[in-house]
Chain A
């Protein structure tokens, strides 16, 4: 199957700082990438959908200015959590797909804001 790499796998940042998470499709060009957030012992909640070269589509309740998504190329999407607060601590997972194929998921990033 296709490989999606997410970096970093773990990050600890201070409250008020920003942190960037990268999602790369290693062996295919992803027309669409998705960002999910997963709270402990809960399911994945879709945050936003991004298509290469266009603005991301955010789900209701997700702050666009706080969770900046950039999909600059067909193999890279980034999620920047701006002015992070402890309540932003979570497990963030990206997925990527090409055309109508199933989505492939990154390994996730555990963000801890202290």
Chain B
């Protein structure tokens, strides 16, 4: 069975500083990994995905994620955080049945 772990319930960062939201995964076979963002009372918005190719994946709103096979990690990063980035972030892995398994979510708080 596949699983995703987001070890931090909340990440606090000052505006303008770099941010990292951590994600580790466990799958058999090649991982298809995703990051989504959720604003209050809204559905999920797709940020980026890793299927194959370069380990550094660039996505929406200046976010990027680094796939590390040896550490089974797919951390989300942004060089300079904005207050508007404050939201709930979910890492997910897609199964061969095309179902997404989500991590528990990490709340990102960016303070001015």
Residues of A bordering B, CB below 8 Å: 1, 4, 6, 9, 32, 34, 41-44, 46, 49, 91, 93, 95, 97, 100, 102-108, 110
Give bound CA distance, A44 to B42, whole Å: 13
Q: Chain B interface: which size bin?
A: 10 to 19
Partner of B99, one of A34, A41, A93, A102: A34
Give bound CA distance, A101 to B98, whole Å: 10
Docked-complex contact B98 and A97, CB < 8 angstroms: yes
Interface SS of A by simple majority: strand
Which residues of the other chain, B, contact A42 by a CB distance below 8 angstroms?
A: 104-105
Which residues of the other chain, B, contact A95 by a CB distance below 8 angstroms?
A: 43-44, 100
Residues of B bordering A, CB below 8 Å: 34, 36, 41-46, 49, 90, 97-105
Docked-complex contact A107 and B42, CB < 8 angstroms: yes
Docked-complex contact B44 and A93, CB < 8 angstroms: yes
Partner of A108, one of B36, B42, B103: B42
> Knowing A102-B34, A102-B49, A105-B36 touch, does A43 contact B103 (C-beta < 8 A)?
yes
Give bound CA distance, A99 to B5, whole Å: 27
Q: Which of A6, A32, A49, A103 has the most CB of B within 10 A?
A: A103
> Knowing A102-B34, A102-B49, A105-B36 touch, does A46 contact B43 (C-beta < 8 A)?
no
**Nearest A residue (CB) for B46:** A102
A-B contacts, 13 listed (Cβ < 8 Å): A6-B43, A9-B41, A42-B104, A43-B102, A44-B44, A46-B100, A49-B99, A95-B43, A100-B98, A102-B34, A103-B46, A107-B43, A108-B41
Docked-complex contact B98 and A105, CB < 8 angstroms: no
Docked-complex contact A34 and B100, CB < 8 angstroms: yes
Give bound CA distance, A108 to B42, whole Å: 6
Give bound CA distance, A46 to B41, whole Å: 18
Docked-complex contact A105 and B43, CB < 8 angstroms: yes
Docked-complex contact A44 and B90, CB < 8 angstroms: yes
Partner of B46, one of A9, A49, A104: A104
Which residues of the other chain, B, contact A110 by a CB distance below 8 angstroms?
A: 41
Measured CB to CB, the closest approach of chain A to B100, in angstroms, equals 6
